[in-house]
């Protein structure tokens, strides 16, 4: 049964999602299934009373403004709050460098709209964030990828990839989704130097940077880029914001506050912001004024810091429980990352084991994860790219469920390996 619309599609949604896996993951709605599949924060930690009080204040003090159309750039006090917060991480921006977006996903979509022509090549980590792949496929981008290891992007393989001429690089430096790995300081410096030498700019996506459980916070790429600029220009760029920067930085309230708000931001040179504002105007006019004002009211008086400390502590415990359970229940031939923060870790099965097939068995055994091939831009049904990998989320389930779920998954793995005569 066709509709008059069917033959008119611009094919921009082509290959945007593997429907087989999506169907399988729908089965995780069964409450019996312990799911490590989603990227969901722990809902029991949401600061509900904080939001109730904030909403009340917003409606009492600024009801008419909150419910009216707003500016595309975003609510100015919220942009000022973000500037202050960014300063803490060494990022010297002004409110004119900040654009509020409807989730980080919209920032990625905006950058796609602004920068990508059909057939343009984007360089990403391998694996990389699925949402970026989806957003930029919509603009018919192609992808060239560089693998990550425990210290993040393999810088030694970067220059060869850059020779293909990507339009920009997309990097998640902290507790990367899906790998859980962090780009080391040394590699950050090398990356910036190479980006500068080749003239290839960087989109730095940092949703998890504030969720570090241990170790030292590492400077964002955008800060290191600023230092290079100081050397390059022989003058201090401090206070000039993002006038000539090679890096666009994005972050979000989804992981530190609540994803149901759909509230994130981009920090970029003013000319990029100006173009993004024009594009966003055509996309959704602006992000909900009401939501922006509620979030702003909620995070006053140190409430955001307080909440982030709580999340860090809970997620750290959950990561520890998951790592211990993996040691206990997983076959020794499976390897995994040990993230210092964030929401995810990444497991690699023996070669030629197919995580998508494993998922089918696992769901029958009431446990779920995301097969890793979804995070490889160039994975296809007829190649083997990323097939033996999986992403495990540790932020959403309770410690008890994490222990039980990993036990079930370990049992499934042992079973499959025995049947297929894979050495455990």
- Which range touches its own copies (CB under 8 A), out of 44-52, 317-325, 326-334, 406-414? 44-52
| Nearest residue to 133 (alpha-carbon basis) of 378, 384, 371 | 378
Dihedral pair phi/psi, residue 265, rounded to 5°: -150, 160
Give yes or no for residue 401 binding its own copies (CB under 8 A). no
Give yes or no for residue 318 binding its own copies (CB under 8 A). no
Nearer to its own copies, 7 or 301 (CB): 7
Instruction: Out of 30, 63, 357, 384, name the contact with its own copies by CB under 8 A.
Output: 63
CB 201 to its own copies: min, Å? 5
Q: What is the Cα–Cα distance from 316 to 214, expressed in whole angstroms?
A: 9
Number of chain positions touching its own copies (CB under 8 A): 86
The sign of the CA dihedral 13, 345, 104, 122 is: negative
Query: Angle CA(380)–CA(157)–CA(107) in degrees, nearest 5?
Result: 60
Give yes or no for residue 258 binding its own copies (CB under 8 A). yes
Binding residues among 183-222 for its own copies as defined by CB under 8 A: 199, 201
Instruction: Out of 35, 97, 105, 389, name the contact with its own copies by CB under 8 A.
Output: 105
Token pair 């390059």 is at which residue? 232
CB 116 to its own copies: min, Å? 6
Nearer to its own copies, 26 or 352 (CB): 26
Facing residues of 171 across strands? Answer: 204
The pattern of x and - marking residues 122 through 141 that bind its own copies according to CB under 8 A reads: ---------x--xx-xxx--
Nearer to its own copies, 219 or 241 (CB): 241
Strands 344-348 and 335-336: antiparallel
Nearer to its own copies, 217 or 306 (CB): 306
Instruction: Give the Å distances, CA to CA, from 195 to 171, 188, 199, 200, 423.
Output: 12, 10, 6, 5, 42
Binding residues among 9-38 for its own copies as defined by CB under 8 A: 9-10, 12-13, 16-17, 38
Give yes or no for residue 165 binding its own copies (CB under 8 A). no
The pattern of x and - marking residues 282 through 311 that bind its own copies according to CB under 8 A reads: xxxxxxxxxx--------------------
Q: What is the Cα–Cα distance from 359 to 366, expressed in whole angstroms?
A: 10
| Nearest residue to 355 (alpha-carbon basis) of 391, 387, 392, 393 | 387
Instruction: Give the Å distances, CA to CA, from 207 to 210, 341, 392.
Output: 8, 11, 17
Q: What is the Cα–Cα distance from 391 to 370, expressed in whole angstroms?
A: 5
Give yes or no for residue 248 binding its own copies (CB under 8 A). yes
């Amino acid at each position: 049964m066709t509709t008059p619309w069917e033959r008119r599609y611009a094919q921009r949604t082509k290959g945007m999602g593997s429907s087989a896996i999506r169907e399988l993951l729908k089965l995780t709605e069964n409450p019996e299934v312990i799911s490590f599949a989603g990227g969901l924060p722990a809902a029991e930690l949401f600061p509900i009373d904080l939001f109730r009080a904030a909403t009340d204040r917003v409606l009492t003090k600024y009801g008419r403004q909150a419910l009216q159309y707003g500016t595309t750039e975003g609510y100015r006090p919220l942009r000022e709050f973000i500037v202050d917060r960014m300063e803490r991480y060494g990022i010297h921006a002004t409110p004119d460098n900040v654009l509020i977006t409807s989730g980080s996903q919209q920032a990625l979509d905006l950058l796609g709209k602004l920068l990508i022509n059909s057939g343009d090549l984007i360089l990403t980590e391998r694996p990389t964030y699925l949402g970026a792949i989806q957003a930029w496929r919509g603009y018919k981008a192609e992808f060239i990828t560089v693998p990550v290891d425990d210290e993040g992007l393999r810088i030694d393989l970067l220059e060869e990839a850059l020779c293909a001429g990507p339009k920009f690089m997309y990097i998640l430096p902290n507790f990367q989704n899906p790998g859980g790995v962090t780009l080391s300081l040394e590699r950050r410096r090398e990356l910036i130097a190479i980006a500068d030498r080749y003239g290839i700019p960087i989109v730095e996506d940092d949703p998890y940077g504030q969720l570090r459980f241990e170790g030292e916070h590492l400077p964002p790429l955008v800060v290191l880029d600023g230092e290079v600029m100081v050397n390059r220009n022989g003058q201090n760029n401090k206070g000039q914001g993002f006038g000539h920067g090679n890096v666009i930085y994005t972050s979000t309230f989804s992981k530190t506050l609540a994803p149901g708000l759909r509230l994130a931001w981009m920090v970029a040179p003013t000319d990029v912001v100006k173009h993004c504002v024009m594009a966003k105007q055509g996309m959704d006019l602006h992000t909900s004024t009401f939501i922006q004002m509620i979030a702003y009211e909620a995070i006053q008086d140190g409430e955001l810091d307080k909440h982030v400390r709580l999340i860090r502590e809970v997620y750290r415990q959950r990561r520890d429980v998951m790592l211990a359970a993996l040691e206990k229940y997983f076959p020794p031939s499976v390897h995994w990352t040990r993230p210092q923060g964030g929401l995810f870790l990444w497991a690699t099965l023996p070669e030629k084991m197919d995580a998508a097939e494993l998922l089918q068995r696992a769901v029958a055994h009431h446990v779920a994860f995301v097969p890793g091939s979804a995070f490889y831009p160039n994975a296809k049904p007829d190649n083997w790219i990323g097939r033996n990998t999986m992403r495990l989320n540790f932020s959403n389930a309770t410690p008890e469920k994490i222990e039980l779920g990993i036990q079930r998954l370990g049992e499934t793995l042992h079973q499959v390996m025995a049947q297929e005569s894979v050495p455990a």
